[in-house]
Amino acid sequence: MIETILPGCVVAADLFHDPPDATLFPEEEKAIERAVDKRRREFTTARVCVRTALGELGLPPSPILPGLRGAPQWPQGVVGSITHCEGYRGAALGPSAEVSTIGIDAEPNGPIPDGTLEAISLPEERAELRRLSSRHPQVHWDRMLFSAKESVYKAWFPLTGRWLDFHEASIAFDPLSKTFSARLLVPGPRVNGTRLDSFSGRWLVDRDLILTAIVVCSGDHHS
Ligand SMILES: CC(C)(COP(=O)(O)OP(=O)(O)OC[C@H]1O[C@@H](n2cnc3c(N)ncnc32)[C@H](O)[C@@H]1OP(=O)(O)O)[C@@H](O)C(=O)NCCC(=O)NCCS
């Protein structure tokens, strides 16, 4: 499902259930040896997705371990992103020669908990969310905003190795083109010699899930 919002230079795989026969590499087993069952299942099925995508890139299966601040450590020459939520696990990967960074996120299409919106949004975003909610009530825009910001962070982190606060990017959605832009309110990383001051993303609502995705291709220029 996620491939519909990704460019052709990126390969993706997703699953809506946990295959009972899925296995992990010993290093991966060790990384989650103390995890509860829910965490073990999402971690494992996400790795099944990753290995499918690696195969599409012509690469052999390999262990994908959590690295700095939880960011997945990809094999040489690969960039990617992983997401999981109730009823969904997905991975998107691309060759680092063509793709600078990827951020994907899946969320249930339901409201975020009371009190969360203020913590994750800017006043301008809340005003936009009110407009979007009255015109497109089938989408939980508060959850969409959260998902878009998670995708921003996952795309941002591999480029910077730094934390990005929820108030350090301002998201604007286009409900017709099903895209969004994320304006960085702090200095952005340099990608291919150009400073990135925004990310462009796409979103999708299907099967009662919200999916968001950001891909920065090597040829992209933001100024
Ligand atoms: C790390 C974070 C983005 C994960 O998102 P989530 O919605 O909780 O969980 P998801 O299931 O969608 O994603 C989990 C996957 O994200 C990936 N991930 C974790 N930390 C990451 C990081 N620092 N950078 C990139 N990817 C990361 C991992 O692959 C993880 O799966 P795995 O542990 O099985 O490998 C989130 O928990 C977080 O810390 N957010 C705060 C920062 C933020 O969002 N700022 C907003 C900036 S506008």
Does 82 sit in the ligand 1 pocket, CB within 6 Å?
Answer: yes
Minimal CA–CA distance to 51: which of 21, 13, 20? 13
Q: What's the pLDDT band for 218 if we cut at 50, 70, 90? A: confident
CA distances from residue 9 to 31, 36, 57, 73, 130 in whole angstroms, order as listed: 30, 35, 10, 20, 35
Average pLDDT of the chain to the nearest whole number: 96
The CA dihedral of 1, 183, 221, 158, to the nearest 10 degrees, is -70
CA of 135 to the centre of ligand 1 (A): 30
Q: What is the pLDDT of residues 121-168, one digit of tens each?
A: 999 999 999 999 999 999 999 999 999 999 999 999 999 999 999 999
Q: What is the pLDDT of residues 65-83, one digit of tens each?
A: 999 999 999 999 999 999 9
Residue whose CA is at the smallest distance from ligand 1 atom 21: 71
Q: What's the pLDDT band for 221 if we cut at 50, 70, 90? A: low
The rounded distance, in Å, linking the Cα atoms of 133 and 139 is: 7
CA of 71 to the centre of ligand 1 (A): 7
Residue 38, domain CATH: 3.90.470.20
Q: What's the pLDDT band for 223 if we cut at 50, 70, 90? A: very low
Our count of domains for the chain comes to: 1
Q: What is the pTM of this model?
A: 0.97
**Domain enclosing residue 125, as ranges:** 1-223
